[in-house]
Amino acid sequence: MPLEVAIVGSGIAGLGAAIALKDHPGIRVQLYEKAKALREIGASIALGPNGMRALDRLGVKNGLSPDIALRNKSGHPMVYRDYRTNEIVAQDARQDDGDELHWTARYYRPDLQKALAVHIDTADIHLDKAFSSVAWDESLKKLVIQFADGSSATADILLGSDGVRSAVRTFFDPSTKAEWSGWVAFRSVFPKTHVADILKTFDDPNEAVHVWGPEGNSLFYSPLGRDLFTVVGSTQIPNSDSKDAPYSNTEWESEGNLAALRALYNGPGWGPVVHSLVEHTPNVQVYPNAAYPQVLDSWILGDKQTQTLPYGRVTVAGDAAHAHGGAHAAGGSLALDDAWAFATALKHIYPADDASRDGPLPSDAQILKALQLYEKTRRVHTDKVIKTVHAGNEAKKERARRGTVDTDDELLARIQNRKDTTWIHAHDVVAAFNAAVKDF
């Protein structure tokens, strides 16, 4: 009898965890997805070196392919250009990973999900299964998971990887709620031919570029795989805490207004390259960034005291564990490191050799230890990321409240003195896991 792992959510974290566990002869994984078809919402997404190493470690070699993963040829993860002249004013530190396959890469998000999904048997992905509840059945010695359509499933362990508005997390803590940060992104992905003539004027048209403006608006643009191109306009909404603030009730990936995107760059000084790029952008969708305002007390969900909810067999990963609003392009890599750490912790307490010898399934105490090991591996890093992001969000809100507009010298200084976040993408989850094992 295999150890049964149920994964709710088939995004990056859920698929990554399933891939990491599929080679274990004694573990059976089933994924449950609320959507009626397996599709990833979103436009472009970046993976830093830690995320690229995770793909490599998981054996997702197709996800490293330059056909879908676009890396800056310069080795600098991001290039910053002047909003007026398009001159380069700064670059992120050049990546020191000797393997270029592990350099920061940008994807069309559905391409990345497809690259992961092909590694999972479609029979193990159950669609139209919206999580409703979970309880412990003493007679079965199993978790019983209920879905909104009235069906149910059993498992020994449940991993909630169902995103920023996680139904699994909310079931255990109804007070938990992702809150809008006030930051809004207008995203578009389209064939590169739309902007081919503009890119001909660039000294290097194959780099990911960020342009900061004096009033706080910004524009990101980059080529993607399969001859696609992405444009992302961003702004902080003033007084975003007000219920009447624009976009406060807008759904993620709502159809956007091109005029609203272009209006971000109507202020004085924005140069012809920025105007040309947004004028040639054919469509746009709106993404109000949301994040959990507080970190979880524990990633191991349930009621430890009364056991009215099962404790020690349910945990979370990806945005369900630590949604931070997408800052620093860290979310995808965090999710993949979560996936690897979760699977590796289970394998640590239930080695494949034990399963091959028809040994007993892990005890309650061993499963709890695996989830504790997983959390210990990940929490220090993810909590630090969230703290950094929250501080940045507050600074943006304060700028918007004050209506701060930089002089050109102040803007240049802000770009060149930006915080170094290399540590986010340089994180070594393998070393963190080994350290956690040693502490145990």
pLDDT digits (tens, 9 = 90+) for 173-183: 988 888 888 89
Q: What is the pLDDT of residue 307?
A: 64
Confidence band (pLDDT; 50, 70, 90) for 306? low
Q: What is the pLDDT of residue 349?
A: 96
- 405, amino acid identity: V
Confidence band (pLDDT; 50, 70, 90) for 97? low
Q: What is the pLDDT of residue 396?
A: 83
Confidence band (pLDDT; 50, 70, 90) for 354? confident
Mean pLDDT of 48-74: 97
Q: What is the pLDDT of residue 338?
A: 99
Contact 218, 212 (CB under 8 A): yes
Domain 3-178+293-439 belongs to what architecture?
A: 3-Layer(bba) Sandwich (3.50)
Q: For every residue of 143-194, which 3-state class applies, written as one string?
A: EEEEECCCCEEEECEEEECCCCCCHHHHHHCCCCCCEEEEEEEEEEEEEHHH
Q: Is the pLDDT of residue 146 over 90?
A: yes
Confidence band (pLDDT; 50, 70, 90) for 95? confident
Q: Is the pLDDT of residue 281 over 90?
A: yes
Contact 79, 73 (CB under 8 A): no
Q: What is the pLDDT of residue 41?
A: 67
Q: What is the pLDDT of residue 211?
A: 98
C-alpha–C-alpha distance, residues 97 and 92, integer Å: 14
Long-range contacts of 349-355 (CB under 8 A, 24+ apart): 349/373, 350/3, 350/24, 350/26, 350/27, 352/23, 352/24, 352/25, 352/26, 354/26, 355/2, 355/3, 355/24, 355/25, 355/26, 355/27
Question: Which residue, 223, 199, 222, is CA-closest to 67?
Answer: 223
Poorest-pLDDT segment among 30-39, 72-81, 386-395: 386-395
Confidence band (pLDDT; 50, 70, 90) for 248? confident
Mean pLDDT (the chain) is 92
Q: What is the pLDDT of residue 259?
A: 96
Question: Which residue, 344, 345, 343, is CA-closest to 368?
Answer: 345
**Residue 291 token pair:** 């994040």
Q: What is the pLDDT of residue 241?
A: 77
Annotate 61-99 with DSSP letters as a single string.
GGGG-TTT-EE-TTS-S-EEE-TTT--EEEEPPPP--S-
Mean pLDDT of 10-35: 97
C-alpha–C-alpha distance, residues 240 and 237, integer Å: 5
pLDDT digits (tens, 9 = 90+) for 318-346: 999 998 877 778 999 999 999 999 999 99
Mean pLDDT of 192-205: 92
Confidence band (pLDDT; 50, 70, 90) for 356? low
Q: What is the pLDDT of residue 284?
A: 96
Work out the percent of the chain whose per-residue pLDDT is above 70: 98
Q: What is the pLDDT of residue 162?
A: 97
Q: Is the pLDDT of residue 149 over 70?
A: yes
Q: What is the pLDDT of residue 298?
A: 94
Neighbours of 347 (CB within 10 A): 18
Q: What is the pLDDT of residue 81?
A: 97
C-alpha–C-alpha distance, residues 317 and 381, integer Å: 13
Confidence band (pLDDT; 50, 70, 90) for 243? confident
In this predicted model, which residue has the larger pLDDT, 242 or 357?
A: 242
Poorest-pLDDT segment among 68-72, 256-260, 395-399: 395-399
Mean pLDDT of 194-208: 92
Query: Position of tokens 């088939």?
Result: 10
pLDDT digits (tens, 9 = 90+) for 381-429: 999 999 998 888 888 888 888 888 899 999 999 999 999 989 999 999 9
Mean pLDDT of 279-284: 97
Q: Is the pLDDT of residue 252 over 90?
A: no
Q: What is the pLDDT of residue 187?
A: 96
Q: Would you say how long the chain is, in residues?
A: 440
